[in-house]
Amino acid sequence: MSDVTKEIKRRRTFAIISHPDAGKTTLTEKFLLYGGAINTAGSVKGKANSKYAVSDWMDIEKERGISVTSSVLQFEYDDYCINILDTPGHEDFSEDTYRTLMAADSAVMVIDASKGVEAQTIKLFKVCTLRHIPIFTFINKMDREAMDTFDLLDDIESVLGIHTCPMNWPIGSGKAFRGVYDRESKIVSTFEAVSTGGSKSALETDLALDDPKLKDIVDELQFNQLNEEIELLDGAAEELDMDKVSKGELSPVFFGSALNNFGIETFLKYFLKMTTSPLPRESSEGLIDPLSEDFSAFVFKIQANMNKAHRDRIAFMRVCSGRFDATKDVYHVQSGRKLKLSQPQQIMASSRKVLEEAYAGDVIGVFDPALFSIGDTICAPGKKFEYEGIPTFAPEHFARLVQLNSMKRKQFMKGVTEIAQEGAVQLFQDYQLGMSEIIAGVVGVLQFDVLKYRLENEYGCEVRLEPLPYGYIRWVKDVETDLNSLKRLNDVKKVKDMKGNPLLLFTNDWIINMVLDNNEGLELEEFKRN
């Protein structure tokens, strides 16, 4: 086995998805603790002088205690090289999460034991199933009062339509939480809560099911219930079928407490054993084998001003095949240019390490001189295939972006352009007034707050956002169409995107149909096919 093949085979690249507050960021941190990547866990919702979660690096994230950007975290554990794609939990940033899932080979779904499957989990799960990637479930917060365990599994199966296979089983919940039973080893790991500081794990003792000491920890009622439930599981629960897991049809389920670091290392060990090394990816030339000698990658995220001192712009690339060598030229398919990737780095939240090489499965950040766009393919010179595109979602909320200091027009235009290129917002201009009236479109309204915050803090531009009543956007299929010649455009806003393509903004579905009825031959599209 060559060194390149060996390195690729030990890679594991996955995303963590959840509804807000299910404990996703806390779980991510505990993984990093085990890998030795950090020494002390931060608290996302701590006091002003507390540490913040490593993966939440943007100031606005620290202030609000939520993740609004995707972080890329790499660490070593048990001879595996692990790449975690931590994603925003808040639904207003779901588009960033969708893009990040395109770079993952599997997903860890975190569910709050007291709430079961929540709205945002459903949305993100659907994206995972579209890609048929393996989904592993971690039911968190067992140290708090939880739903009935069988009801939790039924909730996952009925709401998400995926079969479940519990790998371990909880004994009680909340104050009565006593630990978990491992179905494979038939060992009970007992639970004793500890402080949530830098300790690696809750105090726990491993005992066999027939060990007399177990009855000192688990009362008779719990012991009898556990035995009944084990018998029921062994007879009725779905068996572990890795073929079904790999197709995203069956989810292995684990229970624990991320805050108390209980059950996390067990989950991590099982997960690494059950997941695969980087998977082949679909391209214009068919599936590309990750073990191929030739380097290839695609851009799934762009982030400006990660380092305020340098005002830099970083393109995040998922390496899909071969080995990346920083000294060699690569080919950027979209521009047709041969180039060297500038300042290749491994980025862990806001900290960086310069890279000389990377392998399929890794995520690298490179300096972007405004050349790259989301979805671009980079490959070895002489190759010209393109990886499948990354979906763009139609914005649902619109606001007029008003610059309050006309003397800072240059900074303002630079700011809105760079932020729009990241994919966080989409920008439009008035059909007749052009760039003198700029409209921002977003999937979730919280993105407006981030846009305003970043323009003011990163570019020094004070702005006002004036909400507009539109909720639907349609591109005009024939780009030569003169929008001024269309009839019955009352309550319709005529705009152009930043490439000059004509669009219409509508307040409701009924008006879209009315405009189509009154303009024979007019064709509208929900997405622009570039």
Q: What is the pLDDT of residues 228-241, one digit of tens each?
A: 999 999 998 999 99
Higher pLDDT, residue 204 or 356: 356
Strands of 472-520, DSSP E: 472-476, 493-497, 502-506
Residue with tokens 């380092």: 307
pTM across the whole model: 0.76
Per-residue pLDDT at 3 exceeds 80: yes
Report, in angstroms and rounded to the nearest whole number, the Rg of the chain calculated over CA atoms: 25
Is the alpha carbon torsion for 112, 115, 126, 43 positive or negative? negative
Domain 397-525 has CATH 3.30.70.3280: yes
- pLDDT given for residue 90 in this prediction: 47
User: 409 vs 352, which has greater pLDDT?
Assistant: 409
Using CB atoms within 10 A of its CB, is residue 465 exposed (0-12), middle (13-18) or buried (19+)? middle
**Residue partners of 201: CB distance under 8 A and separation at least 6:** 194, 260, 261, 262, 264, 265
Q: So where are the chain's domains?
A: 14-66+85-274, 281-379, 397-525
Per-residue pLDDT band at 525 (split at 50, 70, 90): confident
The per-residue pLDDT for range 285-298, each reduced to its tens digit, is 999 999 998 999 99
Give 187's strand partners: 182, 208
Residue 106 clears pLDDT 60, i.e. is over it: yes
Q: Name the 3-class secondary structure at 76.
A: strand
| Residue 354 scores a pLDDT above 80 | yes
Give 425-435 pLDDT, tens digit per residue. Answer: 889 999 999 88
CA-wise closest residue to 351 among 59, 97, 73, 41: 73
Pick from 185-194, 367-376, 487-496 the range whose average pLDDT is largest.
Answer: 487-496
Q: In the predicted model, is pLDDT for residue 272 greater than 50?
A: yes
Q: What is the pLDDT of residue 396?
A: 84
Q: What is the pLDDT of residue 343?
A: 81
> Domain 281-379 sits in which CATH superfamily?
Translation factors (2.40.30.10)
Same topology between domain 14-66+85-274 and domain 281-379: no
Mean per-residue pLDDT over the chain, rounded:
85
Short-list 472, 482, 476, 483, CA closest to 512? 472
Confidence at 147, pLDDT banded by 50, 70, 90 = very high
- List the beta bridge partners of residue 190: 179
Q: What is the pLDDT of residues 305-350, one digit of tens each?
A: 655 554 678 888 999 999 999 999 999 999 999 999 988 887 665 5
56-65 pLDDT, tens digit per residue, is 545 555 554 4
Q: What pLDDT shows up at residue 348?
A: 62
Mean pLDDT of 133-147: 95
Q: Is 314 exposed, middle or buried (0-12, 13-18, 19+ CB in 10 A)?
A: buried
The per-residue pLDDT for 430 is 93
Q: What are phi and psi of 265, to 5 degrees?
A: -65, -35
At 87, the pLDDT band (50, 70, 90 cuts) reads low
Collect all residues with Cβ–Cβ distance below 8 Å to 3 and sequence separation of at least 6. none
In CATH, the number for domain 14-66+85-274 is 3.40.50.300
pLDDT digit string (tens) for 28-71?
888 888 877 665 555 333 333 445 555 554 555 555 444 434 46
Residue 157 has pLDDT above 70, yes or no: yes
